[in-house]
Amino acid sequence: MQIMDRGSSVPLYIQLKELLRDKIESGDLGDGELLPTEQELCEQFNLSRYTVRQALGELVKEGYIERVRGLGSFVRRVPKVANAPAVGIIVPYTDDFYTSSIIRGVEGVARSEGHNLIFANSNNHPEQEEILLRKLRNDGVRGLIIFPCEDSVYSVAVEGLMSIGFPVVLVDREYKTLDCPAVVSDNVDGGEKAVDYLVSLGHKRIAFAMTIFNHTSSVQDRLLGYRTALARHHIPWDKSLLLTYAPRLYDAPEDDADHIAPLRRYLAREDRPTAIFAVNDLVALDILRAAAEVGLDVPGDLSVVGFDDIPVVSELPTPLTTVAQPHLEIGAVGAKMLFHIIAGRTLERTRVVLPVKLVVHQSCSELSQ
C-alpha cells in the first residue's frame, strides 16, 4: 500500500491526481494503457472511492485520461504542437466508448491539419455547454465541434456563433430548428433495421425502451424508424409498448440498481412484450439485468436489440444484437467539415448522414408459436 501525505494542506484527491499525471507525463503509463480500477486505487493508496473518483475526474477534465463505462479508465496523451492554432470540442460526458471514439476521430483530423484540439466536458448541462462555448471562443479557437447535451433541441449560443460566421459543426445530435452543419448516424434506418429483424423472427409485440431524455434528436429518429417499420409490417402502434425510465446517474455507484426498478415491474407484467428495441446499448444492458432479476431468459423469453455496438456487448454471457454506428467516422467527418468551413470553402452538404449496420449476436430468437 502506498501512503499519501495526510498531513499536507494539499487535498488527497489532488495528490493522487498529480501522482497519476506524473506517471502519464513520464511515460510510465503509456498512451491507451488501462489504469487500475477504482477499487484497486482505493486499496493501493488507502483512499475512499469518492476521493479516487475526484482525482480521476480531474484527470478527465485535463485531458489525461478517458473513462469508458464498463471498461475502465485509459490514458489519452495527445501531443500538443507548440504555438499551433487550435480547434475545440465540447462533449456531454467522457465515460462512454462512443464519445471517446468521436473524440479520437476529431483528434486525428486536427493533427493532420496542424491544429491542437482543446477538449471540454459540459457534464450534460446545457448551461455549462454555453459557458464552455463562449470560453473556448474567447480563448482563440478557430472553430468548434459540439456534441450537444441530451434533450437539447435548440441553442441560443450556437445560433449566435452562426450569425457571426464562426465555424461550428454538430456531431451525433443536431438542433432540428437550426441550419447548423451536422454529422449524424442514420438513426431512422437503424430503428427500421432493428424492428425488421425482430419481425423476421416472428415478433409483433415489440417495445421501444428509452430514458427520460427522449427529446434528443437521435432518440426521436430511432423512435421514428421503429414506428415506420411497424407500420410497414402492418403492426398497430401500441403506446403501452413505449417504455421510459430514468437512467443511472453518471456519478452513481456502479452497483446502484434502483434505477432499473421500473424495468423489473414492466417485465413482470403478464402482457409484457416478446421483444425490446433499446434506444442504446446502455439501456439494453439495464434491460438484460432487469430480465435476469425477474427470471426471464434472454433470448428464450425475451429478445433484445441495442444500438451503438459498444465493445462490452459482444463480451456478455449472451452477446447483444445491436445496431453499429461509425463512431470514429462521425468525429473525423465532422472535423473535416469544420476545417472546410475554416478554409472559407462552401460545404457540398451541411447535413451528413452516415450509414449504420445491424450486428447480429445471440440476444434474439424466433418466437415460438
C-alpha distances in Å from residue 240, one per residue of 149, 206, 243: 28, 10, 7
Among the residues of 37-116, which ranges form H helices? 38-45, 49-61, 97-112
Is 199 within 8 Å of 206 (Cβ atoms)?
Answer: yes
pLDDT at 300: 96
Are 205 and 56 members of one domain?
A: no
Residue-level pLDDT at 32: 75
Please give the pLDDT value at position 305.
98
Confidence check: pLDDT of 239 > 50: yes
- Residue 223 pLDDT > 60, yes or no? yes
Task: Looking at the structure, tell me whether residues 197 and 285 fall in a common domain.
Answer: yes
CB-based contacts of 180: which residues, under 8 Å, 6+ apart? 158, 162, 168, 169, 170, 174, 350
Tell me the mean pLDDT in the region 305-324: 94
pTM for this structure? Answer: 0.78
CATH of the domain at 56: 1.10.10.10
166 and 207 in a single domain? The answer is: no
Q: What is the phi-psi region of residue 140: left when phi exceeds 0, alpha when psi lies from -120 to 50, beta otherwise?
A: left
197 shares a domain with 257: yes
Which residue carries 461550428 as its cell?
168
Residue 250 sits in the same domain as residue 234: yes
Residue with cell 462533449: 91
Residue-level pLDDT at 22: 81
- Would you place residue 93 in the very low, low, confident or very high pLDDT band (cuts 50, 70, 90)? confident
Inside any domain, residue 78: no
Q: Residue 160 sits in which domain range? A: 86-185+326-354
Q: In this structure, are 128 and 246 located in the same domain?
A: no
CATH number for the domain that contains residue 137: 3.40.50.2300
Average pLDDT, integer, range 239-251 = 79
162/219 same-domain check: no
Mean pLDDT of 300-321: 95
Identify whether 72 is part of a domain.
Answer: no
Residue 1 has pLDDT above 80, yes or no: no
As separate numbers, helices (DSSP H) first and strands (DSSP E) second, the chain gives 11, 14
Do both 290 and 332 map to the same domain?
no
Q: Does residue 243 fall inside a structural domain?
A: yes
User: Could you give the number of structural domains in the chain?
Assistant: 3
Indicate the range of 68-77, 165-174, 281-290, 307-316 predicted with least confidence. Answer: 68-77
pLDDT for residue 252 is more than 50: no
Query: Do 278 and 304 meet the contact criterion of CB atoms below 8 Å apart?
Result: yes
Same domain (yes/no): 245, 317: yes
Cell numbers for 331? 468525429
Asked whether residue 216 falls in the same domain as residue 172, the answer is no
pLDDT in tens, 106-161: 999 998 999 999 988 898 899 999 999 989 998 899 999 999 998 888 889 999 99
Q: Give the model's pLDDT for residue 251.
A: 42
Is residue 71 one of the residues assigned to a domain? no
User: Which of 347 and 63 is assigned the larger pLDDT?
Assistant: 347
CB neighbourhood size of 135 (10 A): 14
Mean pLDDT of the chain: 89
pLDDT at 335 over 90: yes
End residue of a domain, out of 325, 341, 362 = 325
Is residue 41 situated within a structural domain?
Answer: yes
Q: What is the pLDDT of residues 29-86, one digit of tens each?
A: 877 788 888 888 998 988 988 899 888 888 887 778 887 766 778 887 555 655 689 9
Residue 365 belongs to some domain of the structure: no
pLDDT class of 270 with cuts at 50, 70, 90: very high
**Is 75 within a domain?**
no
Residue among 256, 294, 273 at smallest CA distance from 209:
273
56, 173: one domain? no
Q: Is residue 236 assigned to a domain?
A: yes
From CA 169, how far away is CA 172, in angstroms rounded?
10
Q: pLDDT-derived band of residue 250, with 50, 70 and 90 as boundaries?
A: very low
pLDDT band at 168; cut points 50, 70, 90: very high
> Angle at the Cα of 291 (from 290 to 292), degrees rounded to 5?
90
Share of the chain above pLDDT 90, in %: 60
- The three-class DSSP label of residue 195 is helix
pLDDT at 295 over 80: yes
- How far apart are the C-alpha atoms of 207 and 194, rounded to whole Å? 11
Task: Name the residue type at position 82.
Answer: A
Q: How confident is the model at residue 219 (pLDDT cuts 50, 70, 90)?
A: very high
Cell readout for 119 is 477538449
Residue identified by cell 475526484 is 54
Q: Per-residue pLDDT averaged across 83-103, rounded? A: 86
| 94 and 200 assigned to the same domain | no
Q: How far apart are the first and last CA of the chain?
A: 59
